[in-house]
């Protein structure tokens, strides 16, 4: 059994947010809170995290929120979500596509 008394909330959250494979640190910028209707929502940059109930089930960013019911469920959704599309930049491409002279 895992003893919850040995954990601190701050250290646990920092540990879970440390693994940001996209190096954008975007999860730390997200907010989890209650809206004016008392719904538990996840927001970032004016967009809200939602869960697809259709064939592409998963979390995505949209213009209106879903109710995640509890902060814990909202946090788990944030950990499962992909980064918002507007935070991913296109790779910089070279003007020429020629190989260097020493390339095989």
pLDDT at position 98: 55
| Residues facing residue 31 across a β-bridge | 43
Q: Is residue 4 included in any domain, yes or no?
A: no
pTM: 0.73
Judge whether 27 and 43 are in contact, CB under 8 Å.
no
Domains identified in the chain, total number: 1
| pLDDT score for 53 | 80
Q: Tell me, yes or no, whether 33 lies in a domain.
A: yes
Query: What are the C-alpha distances in Å from 42 to residues 66, 67, 88, 93, 97?
Result: 8, 9, 19, 34, 42
The whole-number pLDDT of residue 92 equals: 56
pLDDT at 42: 97
Q: 65 is in which domain, residue-wise? A: 24-84
Report if residue 16 sits inside a domain: no
| Consecutive 10-residue averages of pLDDT for the chain (104 residues) | 90 78 76 95 95 82 94 94 80 56 54
**pLDDT for residue 76:** 94
């Amino acid at each position: 059994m895992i003893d919850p008394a040995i954990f601190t909330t701050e250290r646990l959250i920092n540990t879970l947010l440390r693994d940001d494979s996209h190096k954008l640190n975007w999860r730390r910028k997200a907010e989890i809170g209650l809206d004016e209707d008392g719904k538990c929502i996840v927001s970032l940059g004016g967009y809200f995290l939602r869960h697809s109930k259709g064939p592409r089930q998963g979390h995505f960013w949209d213009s209106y929120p879903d109710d995640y019911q509890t902060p814990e469920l909202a946090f788990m959704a944030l950990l499962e979500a992909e980064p918002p599309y507007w935070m991913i930049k296109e790779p910089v491409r070279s003007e020429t596509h020629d190989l260097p002279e020493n390339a095989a």
